Amino acid sequence: MSAVAAPVGRLVDHFESGLDAPICLTWELTYACNLACVHCLSSSGRRDPRELSTDECKAVIDELQRMQVFYVNVGGGEPTVRRDFWELLDYATAHDVGVKFSTNGSRITPEIAARLAASDYVDVQISVDGATAEVNDAVRGPGSYATAITAMERLADAGFSGFKVSVVVTRENLSQLDAFKAIADRYGAQLRLTRLRPSGRGADVWDELHPTATQQRELYEWLLARGEEVLTGDSFFHLAAYGEALPGLNLCGAGRVVCLIDPVGDVYACPFAIHEAFLAGNVRQDGGFARVWRESELFRELRGPQSGGACASCGFYDSCRGGCMAAKFFTGLPLDGPDPECVLGHGEPLLAARDACAAPRSPIDHSRRPPPQRACDEDPLTDFWRVVDGQH
């Protein structure tokens, strides 16, 4: 992204008060997934029977075209397991809605790679969370590294240049940043790093997997040195408080310039906030997505003036804006206080003092297996559930 000329006040101010349509949005097409990544932000696994039909998806695309939403980030679950995925992809691009879809690579055959390479309007993002099979597979499951690398080879062989290699940065892979960059370079791709959020199953592993304070600093220096060469989706705007801002808008776009449509048509403020506290409406309602975007009370609140709360007196509040709402919410911290990974360390005492068991959890869970149990999980039905599910 780049901003061009003629100052008319800060762009950020316009974005914070919201736009008539999102700049881009995330659309999770299905909760079904053939993997079971430990940090899955949408707790995906099984398809939800209420998922939008092909025709309903096409109606959403028509609406996005009318609203001039130029592109959508499509994800899941694993979006390519939907039988109508390629049909929807063609429908979107024929209606001036570009698509960037995230995949674990399992359905990228040489034929599909050739087809994708031929389209200007489609971008592909291959997810990999370790630069070695060992580190990746510990998070994404056995064989998933090899699958992702094969998909990258096929895209490169088909002549698809500039696809994305997408990495969630963790304590385990932070030492591999150069190796990730080398993988992306090898296949003519672009590296994209994003932040680990305690959303979905991510809540179960966040304490052990989120980067340490020292690692965070290292990440910041690394990103700063690479500039626009490495994408971040504005994911690390909380690091701006180290000093110089990273490229991007450096603001929380939730409900202001971005949002999420989930597989059943629910509209949430952001992809990391699948919880009723951030639910704005459903695309099946009268007036569809446009009405939810423009009239939802939640979104209006998010576009109103925000109080810095405990952060208001901090000299760096203008840089980090209090950090990520979802990261605070799902770690059980107050929304008007510091980010759990506040670079000045203001989140740490709060994390230490909180009751981790009291952190809100989303009941929306499509995991194929019950999520790992926390020490504080004393639900007497947990084991009962395992028995009736019959999977173990």
Q: Compare residues 9 and 49 and give the one whose CB is closer to another protein.
A: 9
Residues paired with 122 in a beta bridge: 99
Q: Report the site for another protein in 1-20 (rule: CB under 8 A).
A: 1-9, 11, 14, 19-20
Alpha-carbon distance of 274 to 260, in angstroms, equals 9
Q: What six digits make up the tokens of 330?
A: 């799902």
Task: Tell me the backbone φ, ψ of residue 356, rounded to 5 degrees.
Answer: -60, -30
- Which of 88, 80, 102 is CA-nearest to residue 26? 102
Alpha-carbon distance of 94 to 1, in angstroms, equals 24
Among 49, 55, 83, 120, binds another protein (CB under 8 A): 120
| Residue 23 found at the interface with another protein (CB under 8 A) | yes
Phi/psi zone of residue 316: left (φ > 0), alpha (ψ -120 to 50 degrees), beta? alpha
Among 38, 66, 98, 217, binds another protein (CB under 8 A): 98
Among 16, 123, 266, 339, binds another protein (CB under 8 A): 123
> Least CB distance from residue 355 to another protein, whole Å?
42
Helical H segments across 168-296, by residue range? 177-186, 202-209, 213-226, 288-295
| Residue 375 found at the interface with another protein (CB under 8 A) | no
Among 56, 96, 172, 336, binds another protein (CB under 8 A): 96
Q: Report the site for another protein in 65-84 (rule: CB under 8 A).
A: 68, 70-71
Give the contacts of 382 (CB within 8 A, at least 6 positions apart): 370, 373
| Residue 100 found at the interface with another protein (CB under 8 A) | yes
What's the start-to-end Cα distance of the chain, in Å? 47
> Least CB distance from residue 249 to another protein, whole Å?
9
Residues paired with 75 in a beta bridge: 28
> Least CB distance from residue 80 to another protein, whole Å?
20
| Residue 133 found at the interface with another protein (CB under 8 A) | no
Among 91, 121, 222, 317, binds another protein (CB under 8 A): 121
**Sign of the alpha-carbon torsion through 47, 61, 22, 119:** positive
Q: Compare residues 4 and 388 and give the one whose CB is closer to another protein.
A: 4
Alpha-carbon distance of 194 to 170, in angstroms, equals 9
Q: Compare residues 13 and 383 and give the one whose CB is closer to another protein.
A: 13
> Least CB distance from residue 344 to another protein, whole Å?
30
Where on the chain is the footprint of another protein (CB under 8 A)?
A: 1-9, 11, 14, 19-21, 23-24, 68, 70-71, 96, 98, 100, 120-121, 123
